Amino acid sequence: MHDERRRIEERVERVHNQRVKPAIYAATVPFEVEAWQAPGEPVPFEEAAGAAYEPFAMGTPWGPPWGTTWFRMSGQVPAEWAGRRVEAVIDLGFVGDWPGNQAEALVHRVDGTPLKAVNPLNQYVPVGNPAAGGERIDYLVEAASNPDILANDFAEPTPLGDVLTAGDRPLYTFRRADLAVLDEQVWHLDLDLQVLRELMVHLGEHEPRRHEIMHALDRAMDALDLDDISGSAAAVREVLAPVLARPAHASAHTISGVGHAHIDSAWLWPIRETKRKTSRTFSNVTSLADEYEDFIFACSQAQQYEWVRDNYPHVWARIQESVKKGQWAPVGGMWVEADGNLPGGEAIARQLVHGKRFFIEHFGVETKGVWLPDSFGYTAAYPQLAKLAGNDWFLTQKISWNQTNKFPHHTFWWEGIDGTRIFTHFPPVDTYNARFSGEEMDRAVRNYSEKGAGTRSLAPFGWGDGGGGPTREIMERARRLADLEGSPKVVIEHPDQFFAKAREEYPDAPVWVGELYLELHRATYTSQARTKQGNRRSEHRLREAELWATTAALHAPGYTYPYEKLDRLWKTVLLHQFHDILPGSSIAWVHREAEAEYARVAGELEALTAEAVAALGAGGTRVFNAGPYDRAEVIRTSAGAPAYVEVPGSGSAPLAAADGAATGSPQPVTVSGRVLDNGLVRVEVAEDGTLSSVYDIRAGREVLAGRGNLLRLHTDLPNYWDAWDIDKHYKNRFTDLLDPDSVTVVEDDPLLGAIRVTRSFGKGSTLTQTITVRAGSPRIDIETDIDWHEAEKIIKAAFPVDVRAAHSSAEIQFGHVQRPTHTNTSWESARFEVSGHRWVHIGEPGYGVAVLNDSTYGHDVSRTVREDGGTTTTVALSLVRAPRIPDPEADQGRHRFTYSLLPGATIGDAVAEGYALNLPLRVAESAGAAEPVVSVAGDGVTVEAVKLADDRSGDVVVRLYESRGGRARGLVRTGFPLAGFQVTDLLERPREEDAAAAVAADGAVEVTLRPFQVLTLRLRRGE
C-alpha cells in the first residue's frame, strides 16, 4: 500500500477547519444591542437595569481597561426555527483562547437572574431545545473589559495592571451578538473529527490503529457533501462510527476526569474582579450540569463560595442544588488555595479549619483531601496538618514544572517532618486545565511513573487560570474517550472515588520524605516584600490579640471575647495568603490593596489587643509577653528610655525600672570606637560598614570567616516570569556595597549600644542600618531601612560563618527542615534559593549560629573550604527584589525590617529568639493577670496558639508542638481552675488517635510528643 498519510491528513484538516466548523450554526439573526458604560467600579444589576442605554453597533470598540459595560440585547426567534436548538452567540471581541485574562461577560434575564457566562471558548447561551418559534429574547449582559496582561507574553512591563495607570482607551471590538440555530449533527461531527484526528496523530506511525483511523477519515471526507454539510453530516458520522466504537485495550490506563475551573482569587486581576469571575464560572458549571447528568465538578476555596453566597443568591442556590445531586464536589477544605510555603503554621491550620467548617455548615459535606494544584512548592508540615484536619489525600500538579529534575512519582505516600504520611497524587497529564485533547491523553500515559503497579490517574478538566470551567465540548470528548481503542479510558468521577481506588490498588506506593520543593518560582519567597511583611505581622498580631482576649475573658468581668471580629480578621489574612498574592506574583492593583488591607488589619488588631489589656484593670505599667517563652531583655519604655525586664511566657510583669539602672541588670554594654561589647559578644564594625568581627566571648571563638552583613547587589533578570523566578545566573554579576556614607555610634548606654551605617547606591537608593547589642543577650540586631529605587536587581545580606555545617536547618510551620549545604546531586544544586520562616540555623558539633528575621523568607546557604583548611558556611538573606512584570513598580519605595545574628545558638535558642524578634514586648497601663493563661514546663514543648473554643462553650484551646526535632515531655499548667481536658483535631473535635499523648497530672496536663508533633488541647474551666 502506498503511503498517503500526508494527503489524507492535510485533506481532513482543511475540510474540518474550513467547512465543518463554520457550518455548526445553521442560521443566524442579529440581536438589537444597546450599551451603557458603568462609571467607575461595577454596579449592582438593579442600577444597571435602570440606566439609560444607547444604540450600539457591531464592530464598535468598547471597554476601557477594568471597565464594565452593560449591553441590552433584544431579539426574536424566527417562527421557522420552532423545534430546533436555538442559542445566543456572543463574541465580545475575544483575543486568543484564554478565558481568564480578557473580556468576560455574565448574561442575565431582565429580571436579574444570571443565566450563563460567555468567554472565548464558551460563547453560547441556551435559548431553547426545542425553541418556540416567535419567542422574544431579552438579555442584560454585564461585560468586563479586563486587559490582557499577558498580551506580550510577559516580554515587557505594562501599565495595565492597575486602574490608576491603565488609561481609558477601549480595548475590545464587539464582533457578534446573534440568535443562532445549532446544527447538532454538524456539531457532533466536529467533535468526532477532533477526537479521531488528535488520537491518530499521537499514535505511533507503526501502529495499525493510526492507519485504520486515517483511512476511515478519508472515507468520511468522501461521504461529506461540501455543498451540503448539514445534510450529509449524519452519513459521515455513520462512516466514523465503527472506529469510534472500537473498545480500549484491557490494559489501557484509566483517567479519572473531574470538572475544574482554577479561579485565582487574585492574580492578573484584582479581588473585586474575582468575585465576578466566580459568578460567571459557577453559572457556566451549573448550566452544564443541567445538560450532562454524568458531569461532576470539583471546586475548592470556601472564600469564593462565600462571595457567591453574599453577592449572587441565584447562583448560590444552583450550587446548593448541584451539591445535593452529587454533581458538585466541594474539595480542598481550605479558605483559599494558599501558598504552600509562606503562611505560618497556625495560619495553615486556620485555612483548613475555616474551609472545612464552611463546607460542613453550608453543604453538610466534610472534604477529605487537600486540593492545591498551583502553589509554588509545599511545606513538609502539610501531611500532619492535613491529617489533623481530617483529610486522607493530597493533590497538586505544580511540581511537574520543575526546572531541573523530574519528580519520580505520580502516586505516592508523602511523609512530613513528624512522620505523618498522606496519600498523594500528581496528575501525569501535567495540567489542571485539561480538555482531553489527544496530546494530553498521550502525555498522561507516557508520563505516568507508576506503570506496572498503578493503573489510574486523575485529570482536572476545564478552562482555568481565571475561570471559565468545563465546557460541553470537553464533556463530549470525555464521552468519546470513555472506551476507545488507542486511548486511555476516561471516567468522570469524584476525586474521593479516584483516591479510594488508587489507594486500594497501590497501598504500598513509594514514600517521599520531606518538602515538595519546586525547582522554579524561587523568587516568590522575596517579591513584594511589603505584602510578605504584612502577612508576617498580621499572623503575630492575631496570635497576640487572641491570647490577651482569652486572658481578659477569663479574668475581666464584663469583657466579651470578640469572636466575630477575630473571625473576620483571620479570614482577611487567610485570603491574602492566596498563592498569587502572598508570593508577590500579582499585578500592582492587587498588592496596593493588600498593603492597605494589612494596615487596616493591624489597626483593628491593635485596638482589640489594647481593649483586652485595658480590661484587666488599672494597676500600674506592665510589660506583656505574647511569646511562648520567658524573656529577660532590654526594651524601651514609653518615654524612650531603655529598661531591663523579665516577663513570663504568655504573661506579664510590672515594669520595674525606666531609667536603665534596674537592680539585677546583666553586665553593661560598652561602646569603644566601632566596637560593641556586652560580656557575651564583642562586635566590631569595619570602616566599610560590614561586621569585621563577631567574637563569642562565652565560647572563646570568632564567629565570622569574612565580612559579616555583607550587602551584595545582584543583577536579577530571570529567563521568564520576572516576579516568580530567580535563576542561578543571578550570582554571576554583583556589586558589594562597601562605600558607606557614614558609620556612627548612635547609642551608648549601659543597657544597649548601637552603630548606624548609611549608604547610597544604584539609581538613587539609600539604606540605613542600625547594628544593636543589648545587655544580657548575644543577639545582634540589624534594623534596616531601605528606600529602594532599583530595577531588575536583588539585594542580599550575607553572613560567612566559621563552622563546618553539613546541613542548614530552616524554620517551617511547626518545626524545621534540614537541607544539605553541599551540591553533590542535581537535586541539591537546584535548591540554590530556599524558604524559611523566622530563623535559619547552621552548626557543627558543639557550636551553632542562627540568623533570625522578622519578615524575610528567601535565603541561600553555601559553603567553601578556605586555604587554612577551615570551612566557611555562608547564610545569605534575600532582602528586596525589583521585578518589573507583572507590576512595573514592584517593591519600589520604603522598606523597614530587622534581621539578627545569634552566635552560640542551639536550635532551641533559635526557636525562642525567633518568637522574641517577631513578638516584641508590649508596655501598657494595666493590672494584668496573676498568672499566664497557660504555661509549659518542658524543653521543646512550644505553645503556638491560645484562644477560646470556636463553639463559644468557654473552653480554652491551646495548640502546642515539639519544636526542636526530638521527643519531648512537658507539663501544661493553667492560670485558671482546670476541670478537664480533651485532645482534639484542628477543628476542635475529639481525636482519639492522639489521646494517649496527654494525661491528667495534679491539676495540670502532662504531654508527651514525638518530634515535631502538633497537639491541640481543649481545656475545660472549673468553678
Tell me the pLDDT tens digit for each residue of 90-106. 999 999 888 888 999 99
For 175, the grid coordinates are 464582533
Q: Tell me the average pLDDT across 617-627.
A: 94
Beta bridge partners of residue 411, listed in sequence order:
425
Residue 130 pLDDT level (bands cut at 50, 70, 90):
confident
Mean pLDDT, the chain, rounded, equals 96
CB 492 within 8 A of CB 478: yes
pLDDT exceeds 90 at position 619: no
- Beta-carbon count within 10 A of 2 CB: 5
pLDDT exceeds 80 at position 663: no
Q: Tell me the average pLDDT across 902-925.
A: 97
The SS3 of residue 32 is strand
Q: What is the DSSP letter of 578?
A: B
- Beta-carbon count within 10 A of 777 CB: 23
Closest residue by Cα to residue 351 from 164, 570, 545 = 570
Q: Tell me the average pLDDT across 19-31.
A: 97
Closest residue by Cα to residue 124 from 79, 80, 178 = 178
Instruction: Give the model's pLDDT for residue 660.
Output: 43
- As a whole number of angstroms, the distance between CA 712 and CA 790 comes to 13
The SS3 of residue 162 is coil
Q: What positions carry a catalytic annotation?
A: 374
CB 641 within 8 A of CB 648: no
Q: Tell me the average pLDDT across 736-764.
A: 97
Round to the nearest angstrom and report the end-to-end CA distance of the chain: 94
β 328-330/297-299 pair status? parallel
Instruction: Give the model's pLDDT for residue 659.
Output: 42
Residue-wise pLDDT for 565-617, tens only, equals: 999 999 999 999 999 999 999 999 999 999 999 999 999 999 999 999 999 99
Instruction: Give the model's pLDDT for residue 661.
Output: 43
Percentage with pLDDT > 90 across the chain:
94
- As a whole number of angstroms, the distance between CA 737 and CA 762 comes to 10
418 φ, ψ (degrees, to nearest 5): -95, -5
Q: What is the DSSP letter of 372?
A: -
Q: What's the gap between Cα 641 and its chain centre?
A: 42
pLDDT exceeds 90 at position 489: yes
Angle of helix 588-615 versus helix 563-575 axis, rounded to 10? 150
Closest residue by Cα to residue 526 from 776, 724, 313 = 724
608 φ, ψ (degrees, to nearest 5): -65, -45
Percentage with pLDDT > 70 across the chain:
99
User: How many residues would you count in the chain?
Assistant: 1023
- As a whole number of angstroms, the distance between CA 399 and CA 872 comes to 32
Kindly report the pTM of this predicted structure. 0.97
Q: Tell me the average pLDDT across 916-921.
A: 98
257 φ, ψ (degrees, to nearest 5): -95, 135
Instruction: Give the model's pLDDT for residue 664.
Output: 62
Containing 91, the helix (H) or strand (E) segment is: strand 86-91
Amino acid occupying residue 139:
Y
Residue-wise pLDDT for 393-426, tens only, equals: 999 999 999 999 999 999 999 999 999 999 999 9
For 758, the grid coordinates are 548609611
pLDDT exceeds 90 at position 657: no
Instruction: Report the 3 state secondary structure along 693-756.
Output: EEEECCCCEECECCCECEEEEEECCCCCCCCCCCCHHHHHCEEECCCCCEEEEEEEECCEEEEE
pLDDT exceeds 50 at position 662: no
Instruction: Give the model's pLDDT for residue 1002.
Output: 87
Containing 434, the helix (H) or strand (E) segment is: none
643 φ, ψ (degrees, to nearest 5): -145, 145
The SS3 of residue 274 is helix
Residue-wise pLDDT for 825-883, tens only, equals: 999 999 999 999 999 999 999 999 999 999 999 999 999 999 999 999 999 999 999 99
Biggest distance spanned by C-alpha atoms of the chain? 103
Amino acid occupying residue 489:
K
Beta bridge partners of residue 565, listed in sequence order:
none
Residue-wise pLDDT for 629-654, tens only, equals: 999 999 988 778 899 999 999 999 99
β 834-835/839-844 pair status? unpaired
Q: What is the DSSP letter of 540?
A: H
CB 554 within 8 A of CB 975: yes
Q: How many helices (H) and strands (E) does the chain have?
A: 18, 55
Q: What is the DSSP letter of 378?
A: B
For 579, the grid coordinates are 498563592
Residues 519-546, buried b or exposed e (16+ Cβ, 10 A)?
A: bbbbbbbbbbbbbbbbbbbbbbbbbbbb
Q: Which residues, including other chains, have CB under 8 Å from residue 890's CB and lie 6 or more apart?
A: 527, 528, 584, 588, 591, 723, 881, 882, 883, 884
**E strand map for 452-578:** 456-461, 489-492, 511-513
Residue-wise pLDDT for 456-484, tens only, equals: 999 999 999 888 999 999 999 999 999 99
Residues 256-288, buried b or exposed e (16+ Cβ, 10 A)?
A: bbbbbbbbbbbbbbbbebbbbbbbbbbbbbbbb
Residue-wise pLDDT for 936-994, tens only, equals: 999 999 999 999 999 999 999 999 999 999 999 999 999 999 999 999 999 999 999 88
